Amino acid sequence: CSLPRSPKGFPKLKNDTFLRAARGEQTEHTPVWCMRQAGRYLPEFRETRASQDFFATCRSPKLCCELTLQPLRRFPLDAAIIFSDILVVPQALGMEVVMVPGKGPTFTEPLKEVEDLLKLRQKVDVTAELDYVFQAITLTRHSLEGKVPLIGFSGAPWTLMSYMIEGGGSTTMAKAKSWLYRHPEASHRLLRLLADVIIDYLVGQVAAGAQALQLFESHAGHLGPELFQDFALPYIRDIAQAVKSKLKQEALPLVPMIVFAKDAHYALRDLGRAGYEVVGLDWTIWPQEARAQIGKDVTLQGNLDPCALYAPKEKIGELVKKMLESFGTQRYIANLGHGLYPDMNPEHVGAFVEAVHAHSRHINKH
């Protein structure tokens, strides 16, 4: 990855299968990519990352580009997703996050009281704060040489809020949820602030060269239907609408948008009507049930259990075939129901990708 060029004159796209499926057009095979495909399961990833602090890596466009491209050198994936982290948004709001080995991302001073909201930047210039992500996207888009489309992403407001209050991962999200019950107005203020930053951030990613966008509501499973209706869904909807209208205003490409709300099986119907071209599914959902609730006009993405990749390769092939038969090969993007785990065998990831291509081509022919 040589140094960034401008976000213009990008190489011509050679494989647009992923974008066509996202828009609901016919495809010869079902496209496939994996969440966390640029990750620790690859020895070359561990090698590139070895000497660097995690967030320092996120701030290096050259390293982000290299890490994004690594899985594509190994596997015939149909999309790349920029290497970054959802917590760059709280950092842009002025919070300090460090990566603690063995523990994960940790906020040095999480939000404890409603007054702590005043410590956050109330107006964020995403170009000033997150330009390193935009540079990484532009550089990677050039370096991909049109091989496959590049996906940009952000965490969704509730998921980011939960990290900012919990100070890291949590099994119950009790501190963050207590805000929703005790301080609903302040919660909405924080969620609105996050949504506004996310909207500008996602538009900036498209301006930099992202060809699709994914919104990760990774902590949806901690909310029930009512809290989700009040504190997550309105912002998820608003982000899709505002991003699209800003892209139009700025004469930028209208890229497909994906929403992935993990464990939100109670909200499939609403997610299907939230303004996204694609709804990502985790592995706890029956494909037929998802299709029935979401309807025929939205593309589905997912949802093989990541742990299925621990199975022998032949078994992975059988599971993929069954998944394709359940979802159908059109208006569908194959993926895992969550990200790849660090101890997975890269060969099994390859077997998954190849099985999707082989079985979907076979089904489409017959």
Give me the sign of the Cα torsion angle 91, 95, 101, 103.
Answer: negative
Map residue 167 onto helix, strand or coil: coil
Query: What does the alpha-carbon distance between residue 25 and residue 256 come to, in Å, rounded to a whole number?
Result: 12
SS3 labels along 83-126: CCCCCHHHHHCCCCEEEECCCEEEECCCCCCHHHHHHCCCCCCH
Backbone Cα Rg of the chain: 19
| Omega before residue 303 within 30° of 0, cis | yes
Q: Which residues are within 8 A (CB) of 177 and not within 5 positions of it... i.e. 6 or more apart?
A: 162, 222, 223, 227
- Are the C-beta atoms of 198 and 259 separated by less than 8 Å? no
Query: What does the alpha-carbon distance between residue 274 and residue 269 come to, in Å, rounded to a whole number?
Result: 9
- Are the C-beta atoms of 46 and 56 separated by less than 8 Å? no
192 is catalytic: no
| DSSP one-letter code for 345 | -
Pairing of strands 257-261, 212-217: parallel
Annotated catalytic residue within 16, 20, 41, 49: 49
Annotated catalytic residue within 23, 40, 192, 237: 40
Annotated catalytic residue within 16, 20, 36, 282: 36
Which residue from 302, 173, 293 is spatially nearest to 231, judged by alpha carbons? 173
Annotated catalytic residue within 163, 201, 235, 276: 163
DSSP E strands, 206-331: 212-217, 257-261, 278-280, 299-304
Map residue 339 onto helix, strand or coil: coil
49 is catalytic: yes
273 is catalytic: no
Catalytic residues: 36, 40, 49, 85, 163
